[in-house]
Amino acid sequence: MSGILSSAGISILILVILAFILVTSAVKVVQEYERGVIFRLGRLIGAKGPGLFFIIPGIDRMMKIDLRVITMDVPAQEVITRDNVTVKVNAVIYFKVMDPNMAVVKVLDYIRATSQIAQTTLRAVLGQSDLDELLAQRDKINRHLQEIIDEQTEPWGVKVSVVEVKDVELPQSMQRAMAKQAEAEREKRAKVIHAQGEFDASARLADAADMLNRSSTALQLRYLQTLTEIAVEKNSTIIFPVPIDMVTALMQGSVNRDGHAPPSNLPQAKPPITTE
Give the DSSP per-residue string, 217-269: HHHHHHHHHHHHHHHT-TT-EEE-PPPHHHHHHHHHHHHHHHS-PPPTTPPPP
Q: Which amino acid is present at 14?
A: I
**Beta strand residue intervals within the chain, DSSP E:** 27-30, 34-40, 43-48, 51-54, 60-66, 70-80, 86-97, 158-169, 237-239, 273-275
Taking 90 as the threshold, does the pLDDT of residue 65 lie above it?
Answer: yes
What does pLDDT average to over the chain?
Answer: 80
Q: Which amino acid is present at 28?
A: K
Choice among 28-42, 197-211, 214-228 with the minimum mean pLDDT: 214-228
Q: pLDDT (tens digit, 9 = 90+) per residue, 9-40?
A: 788 888 888 878 878 888 888 999 999 999 99
Q: What is the CA radius of gyration of the chain?
A: 47
Class of domain 70-174: alpha beta
Q: pLDDT (tens digit, 9 = 90+) per residue, 100-146?
A: 999 999 999 999 999 999 999 999 999 888 888 888 888 999 999 99
For residue 143, the Cα-to-chain-centroid distance in whole angstroms is: 14
Taking 70 as the threshold, does the pLDDT of residue 237 lie above it?
Answer: no
- Distance between CA 137 and CA 153 in Å, rounded? 25
Task: Say if CB 134 and CB 151 are below 8 A apart.
Answer: no
pLDDT of 113: 94
Domain ranges of the chain: 23-66, 70-174, 196-232, 233-276
Task: Say if CB 141 and CB 87 are below 8 A apart.
Answer: no
